[in-house]
Structure formats: structure tokens, C-alpha cells
Amino acid sequence: MAMKFKLVTRKNMGPDQEEVPEKIYAQMVCGDYVPFDEFVEEVADSSGVGSAGVKAVIDRTVVVLVRHMQHGRRVQVGDLGHFRYNFGSEGVPDEKSFATNMIREPKVRFFPGKALRVAKSRTSFEKIALDDKAEENGGGSGGDRPEIE
């Protein structure tokens, strides 16, 4: 199945913004949300392991992953891929001027494994019409974000 997108107009931030102040870009339209419990049940049904076992393993995986990443390690999680922290800091003119509070909060970097990279490269796309957009949003008038009443 193809990933759906819509076209949106946004301010042009590129070098040609003087000549073309706005450009049209593709924006992904998210599909259904898969809650964690549903995901766990599906993994359990196809693996012969109970849902409690699957959830326990995923929960413990997060604990161990965080522990290793906090020590600056890259963590390979099988065919899923590997995780690591990445951070930057403000620049200073000399080493004496540097303080650790200049380091920005780390970001989690994920590098997908081969199966995810192959799946990503084989993705197809489908433009939705305005009528499809209304159906995707339950007939509402909003965008791809939930509306709060």
C-alpha cells in the first residue's frame, strides 16, 4: 500500500525566495495509529510468545538501551537497527571559556537495519484528493492533526 500525501503551500526559505516567495511541498498524511497494546498482541500472535512476555521484553529492552546510551555507547538492536545519542554545543573562542552547560540536550539517533532500509526504498506514494482528505480525517475540516473540541 502506498503512503498518502497532500500538497501544501509554504514560505520558500531557499535562495530563490525573492523570485518565488512560496512553494508547494508534499506533506505526509498519517494513517491509522497503532496503539502499543495492539502492536504487542500482533507480535504475540505471530511469535508463539504471550503478550505479557512480549511487553516485558520490550520494556526491559528500553531500560537496557537507555543505560548503554547514557554511557555513550552505540547499541545494536538486531535487525531493527542501532541507536546512539548525538549532541552539540555552543562555540567558544578558547578552551578556558567552555563550560559543560553549553552542551545542548542529546538527541536520540536511530539508524535503521537492512530490512527497514529496503522497505523504505521500496515505498510508493499516492496523492490524495480533497475528498479523500476529508474521509481520512473522519469527514472533519482539519488537517492531519486531531481536533480538540
**Average pLDDT score over the chain:** 88
Model pLDDT, residue 56 = 96
C-alpha–C-alpha distance, residues 144 and 78, integer Å:
33
C-alpha dihedral over 76, 79, 81, 82, to 10 degrees? 0
Q: Are 54 and 40 in contact (CB under 8 A)?
A: yes
Residue 2 has which C-alpha cell?
502506498
Residues in CB range of 85: below 8 A, 6 or more apart: 69, 70, 72, 106, 107, 108, 109
pTM of this structure: 0.69
d(CA 60, CA 63): 5
What is the rounded average pLDDT of the residues 91-97? 94
Q: What is the pLDDT of residue 43?
A: 95
Decide if pLDDT at 7 tops 50.
yes
pLDDT in tens, 17-61: 889 999 999 999 988 899 999 999 999 999 989 999 999 999 999
